Amino acid sequence: MRNDASRSSRRRLWIGGACFTISAMVHAGAVTPASASVTDGRRVLGPSSDSSAVTFTRDVAPIIQRNCQLCHSPGGIGPMPLLTFEHVRRNGPLIKQMVQAREMPPYQYDTHVGIQKLQHDWRLSDHDIATVVRWVDAGMPMGDPADMPPAPKLPAAGEYRLAATYGPPDLIVKAKKYTVPAMGQDRWWRPSVPSGVTSDRCIKAIETRPTVAGRSVTHHANSIFVPGNSNVQPDEAGGGGPGSVRLSEYALGKIGEVVPTDACRIAPAGSNVLFDIHYYPNGKEVVDDQVEVGIWFHPPEVTPQTHYRQTLGLYALQSGSGDFEIEPRGTLMTQGFHRFNTPVRIDSWQPHGHLHLVAKRLEVLYPDGRRETISMVSNWNPGWHHSHVYAEDAAPLLPAGTVMINTAWYDNTDKNPFNPDPDQWVGIGDRTADEMSHAWIAVTQLDEAGYQKLLAKRTKK
């Protein structure tokens, strides 16, 4: 549960979708690592004889370095730097509150429901959370400066984040430029550009990168491969017309997508990339913004002929009419069902919604009648979209005939801290103040032999 203090500060951060603008302003006056000092004469307590006493240099600094500094450093997207003892001490009580509520690091995924083995999981362990809480409660002692771990090397602002794992992208596809005005309503930009892919390749990872200046106004940026030179408008259900395949989805805060080593998300030769970018002006003009997508490929021996195909799909939740409304100060639950006619493996799950969504769940109903919860997010935050990638030995392997059940809960009351106006009717739509109801799910399409093989491998383990 969010408490009132965090609720009010976060509402302020979100009005007008301006949260990252505020971050940028704070950063303009931020302390640089060079000018910051680790020593604070009044607070140096020296090494403690009590080994259970938590100190900053020995216990807390490694947690902050590993989990927070990527964003909370000058040029990062966090509103303040957390590089030094003094930075962290100054924000101590708020840090305690945010890590205890699992709001920071920003990774909304329930810890006691469904599959817990995820790749690129940002969640802190219970032990790390307890360490931070104990340190704040103990008055935030600095400890022995000699215990301080060396500062990690942080990527430069605007660098591809997956580059730390995979090196620079093999291919970068740039959208055409667009100038986002300072004021006005939502904007959509759908340019088509040549992909530069000359032979069919299999994708290993994808990162959609808004510009540093444009990241607060870029709410979505989806991309699909379309054949030849066609300029097909993307349709809601599954892609951009005949012969098109989805490349990726991006929404605020998302890093990227990762494809398992035994599956092929295809990048077709001779294709164009059609972007579908949703901008939301927030007070400052962004001139010539240019979204780009970095793509890493599997080695050439992984081909569409030798490996099962992985597809990223949009699975809708709304009922048959494709429409819903939430009444002023009302709540709503929607559900969507999808039957797999062939065996599949679910590789990743990404809930999607806007400011009224509060929770989303993925379940499966097996042909034998068993029902299982795969994943749940009950503290949805519209500022952070993640593709939750299941660990390779944990990704749900489903026999033909399994039904996927997606459920979403919405809150249009004033208890929802992100709700811009509880007195409005809310309908389904593309604007930030409208709602959406779908999940992005990457599925490896198997056949019976492939399913049995993967199952045997699992049970052997």
Residue 241, SS3 per DSSP: coil
Which of these ranges, 36-44, 64-72, 198-206, 396-404, lies near ligand HEC under the rule CB under 6 A? 64-72
For residue 136, what is the DSSP state?
Answer: H
140 near ligand HEC, judged by CB under 6 A? no
13 near ligand HEC, judged by CB under 6 A? yes
Which of these ranges, 7-15, 184-192, 197-205, 449-457, lies near ligand HEC under the rule CB under 6 A? 7-15
Binding-site residue total for ligand HEC (CB under 6 A)? 22
Which of these ranges, 9-17, 189-197, 240-248, 285-293, lies near ligand HEC under the rule CB under 6 A? 9-17
102 neighbors 6 (Cβ within 8 angstroms): no
Q: How far apart are the C-alpha atoms of 165 and 312, rounded to whole Å?
A: 22
Question: What does the per-residue mask of binding to ligand HEC show for 17-36, with x meaning CB under 6 A?
Answer: --x---x-------------
For residue 427, what is the DSSP state?
Answer: E
- Residue from 60, 70, 376, 428 touching ligand HEC (CB under 6 A): that is 70
- Count each helix (H run) and each strand (E run) in the chain, helices first: 8, 24
Q: H helices of 139-235, where?
A: 163-166
Question: What does the per-residue mask of binding to ligand HEC show for 376-415, with x meaning CB under 6 A?
Answer: -------x--------------------------------
Q: How far apart are the C-alpha atoms of 423 and 432, rounded to whole Å?
A: 16
Q: Select 108 or 402, whichever has its Cβ closest to ligand HEC.
A: 108
The nearest distance, CB 389 to ligand HEC, in angstroms, is 16
Residue 6, SS3 per DSSP: helix
Q: How far apart are the C-alpha atoms of 429 and 337, rounded to whole Å?
A: 20
Which of these ranges, 65-73, 285-293, 313-321, 370-378, lies near ligand HEC under the rule CB under 6 A? 65-73
- Residue from 3, 5, 8, 9 touching ligand HEC (CB under 6 A): that is 9
In this structure, the dihedral spanned by the alpha carbons of residues 296, 382, 71 and 221, taken in order and rounded to 10 degrees, is 30
Q: Which value, in Å, is the radius of gyration of the alpha carbons in the chain?
A: 23
Residue 453, SS3 per DSSP: helix
Q: How far apart are the C-alpha atoms of 140 and 82, rounded to whole Å?
A: 14
Q: Select 23 or 271, whichever has its Cβ closest to ligand HEC.
A: 23
Amino acid letter, residue 115: I
The nearest distance, CB 9 to ligand HEC, in angstroms, is 5
118 near ligand HEC, judged by CB under 6 A? no
- Residue from 54, 60, 61, 71 touching ligand HEC (CB under 6 A): that is 71
- Residue from 68, 173, 221, 293 touching ligand HEC (CB under 6 A): that is 68
Which residues are 441's β-sheet partners? Answer: 313, 349
344 near ligand HEC, judged by CB under 6 A? no
Place of tokens 């992909």: 195
Q: Select 161 or 174, whichever has its Cβ closest to ligand HEC.
A: 161
Q: How far apart are the C-alpha atoms of 64 and 44, rounded to whole Å?
A: 19
Token couple for 322? 């494709």
Which of these ranges, 69-77, 212-220, 393-401, 452-460, lies near ligand HEC under the rule CB under 6 A? 69-77
67 near ligand HEC, judged by CB under 6 A? yes
Q: Select 71 or 359, whichever has its Cβ closest to ligand HEC.
A: 71
User: How is 76-107 classified by DSSP, letter by letter?
Assistant: SSSSS---SHHHHHHTHHHHHHHHHTT-SS--
Question: What does the per-residue mask of binding to ligand HEC show for 75-114, with x meaning CB under 6 A?
Answer: --xxx-----------x--xx--xx----xxx--------
Residue 219, SS3 per DSSP: strand
Q: How far apart are the C-alpha atoms of 444 and 424, rounded to whole Å?
A: 41
Taking residue 59's Cβ as centre, other Cβ atoms within 10 Å add up to 18
Q: Select 1 or 449, whichever has its Cβ closest to ligand HEC.
A: 1
Question: Which residues lie near ligand HEC (CB under 6 A)?
Answer: 9-10, 13, 19, 23, 67-68, 70-72, 77-79, 91, 94-95, 98-99, 104-106, 383
